[in-house]
Amino acid sequence: MLQLYYAGTSPYVRKVMVVAHHLGVADGIECLAAAASPVKRDRNIATFNPLTKVPAARTDDGLCLFDSRVICEYIDNVRGGGLFPDAGRARWIALTQQSLGDGLLDAAILVRYERTLRPPELRWAEWDAGQMSKITDCLNEIEAQAPSLGTARFTIGEITIACALGYLDFRYPEVAWRDGRPKAAAWYEVFSKLPAMQATMPPA
């Protein structure tokens, strides 16, 4: 079905794979090893995505797809999975929730780059603090929305939010995002046990 440039620690790749597992097509995806980095670009990825970022995919008929939002919608469209509502209020809610989760991830990954790739003498404390404040605000919004988030029936919105929270557990345990957010924590406790989530856990 797809060739996919893949990194097991990428939350965006995880998002794609959660969709694939949930819709029963994970076995049809050929995962290609990738070493994506904003500093040392993996030119192999550029054959699918000129930005050399993962996930990047190519279909059987040679169509190249990037980023996670596009690849997830492609898989859902091919499988008729219903993770992307067709129209109306439900669609806009799902897409906005996806943006909420992706925005949290964008900020978290920028902080990780700042702390691990940038030379210590060039690091910018205010930048770090500004991104972390975005994460806090996203978490507070997730807490506010948690009563409406699904576990039995859900969309790309819930998948993206769950992958974002899982990434915080993986890379930022010190954030302790559950503290003061009991509704989000209770929702994630159930959602994270879904088979597609369990099958895509980042490496220890």
Q: For residue range 1-59, what is the model confidence (pLDDT) as tens digits?
A: 799 999 999 999 999 999 999 999 999 999 999 888 888 888 989 999 999 999 999 99
d(CA 89, CA 20) in angstroms, rounded, equals: 25
Picking from 84, 90, 92, the residue whose alpha carbon sits closest to that of residue 15 is 84
d(CA 1, CA 103) in angstroms, rounded, equals: 28
Q: Is the pLDDT of residue 159 over 80?
A: yes
Taking only the tens place, the pLDDT of each residue in 182-192 is 999 999 999 99
Burial class (CB in 10 A: 0-12, 13-18, 19+), 133: exposed
Domains belonging to the chain, first-starting first, are 2-79 (3.40.30.10), 88-198 (1.20.1050.10)
Confirm if 161 and 130 have CB atoms less than 8 A apart: no
Burial class (CB in 10 A: 0-12, 13-18, 19+), 51: middle
Taking only the tens place, the pLDDT of each residue in 76-124 is 999 999 999 998 999 999 999 999 999 999 999 999 999 999 999 999 9
Query: Would you put residue 188 in left (φ > 0), alpha (ψ -120 to 50) or beta?
Result: alpha
Q: How confident is the model at residue 175 (pLDDT cuts 50, 70, 90)?
A: very high
CA atoms within 13 A on the CB side of 128: 11
Q: Is 59 helix (H, G, I), strand (E, B) or coil?
A: strand
